[in-house]
Amino acid sequence: MVLAGCVTCSGMGLGTAHALAGEPEAKPTREFDAGLLTEFASDGVYEQFARRERLLVIRKQGRIFVSSSTCTHRNCVVKFSNENNELRCPCHGSSFDDTGTILEGPATISMPRYGVWVRNQRLIVNTNQLFTERNWDKAGAFVEV
Ligand code: FES
């Protein structure tokens, strides 16, 4: 399904009414302040917001991005395994690599990412803006560090 005018939500089943009307998604920004960039100083998966905010802050190869922490199968919160360097769902066994890319089902799609930007050296997340895998390299889906 291609949703015209909605680069951040295609394939997610979101914003369908807007897309069918030919209008871009127009959800208001919902900001979450994830903290100072210095709190994410090294590469890795930061899980402190996984349950309460349903998001993971991930730093890898000069980028910080924020992934949903819920499995794309049936929304259980995933858990990072240092041993395997992957995100694993405790409910039915799906796994994702340390960037949220799907590795093994029953989930079939990678984990979406939220819009992010930096304000006053703090990482701000727009939890109303989702980027599916094919849009992960678009402006707003990550910050460079
Ligand atoms: S909810 Fe994650 S595998 Fe089913």
DSSP string for residues in 30-83: -EEEEEEGGGG-SSEEE-TTTTTT-EEEEEETTEEEEEE-B-TTT-PBPEEETT
Please tell me the distance between residue 121's alpha carbon and the centre of ligand 1 in angstroms. 35
Is pTM beyond 0.85? Reply is no
Two tokens, residue 98: 């340390």
- Phi–psi pair at 72, nearest 5 degrees: -80, 0
**74: CA distance to ligand 1 center in Å?**
5
Instruction: Report the length, in residues, of the chain.
Output: 145
Count the Cβ atoms, other than its own, within 10 Å of residue 87: 29
Quote the CA–CA distance of 121 and 123 in Å, as a whole number: 7
78 pocket-lining for ligand 1 (C-beta < 6 Å): no
pLDDT in tens, the chain (145 residues): 333 333 343 334 344 444 444 445 567 889 999 999 999 999 999 999 999 999 999 999 999 999 999 999 999 999 999 999 999 999 999 999 999 999 999 999 999 999 999 999 999 999 999 999 999 999 999 999 9
Give Cβ neighbours of residue 95 (< 8 Å, ≥ 6 apart). Answer: 84, 86, 87, 88, 89, 103, 104
Report pLDDT for 26: 62
* Domains of the chain in sequence order: 29-144 (2.102.10.10)
For residue 123, the model assigns a pLDDT of 98
- Ligand 1 pocket, residue 92 CB under 6 Å: yes
- pLDDT of 61 reads 94
Whole-number pLDDT of residue 29: 84
* CA-closest residue to ligand 1 atom 4: 92
Residue with the smallest CA separation from ligand 1 atom 1 is 74
Cα(27)–Cα(126) distance, rounded to whole angstroms?
10
Ligand 1 contact, 77 CB (< 6 A) = no
Query: What distance in Å separates the CA atoms of residue 58 and residue 50, rounded to the nearest whole number?
Result: 11
Q: What pLDDT, on a 0 to 100 scale, did the predictor assign at position 16?
A: 40
What is the distance in A from the centroid of ligand 1 to the CA of 76? Answer: 6
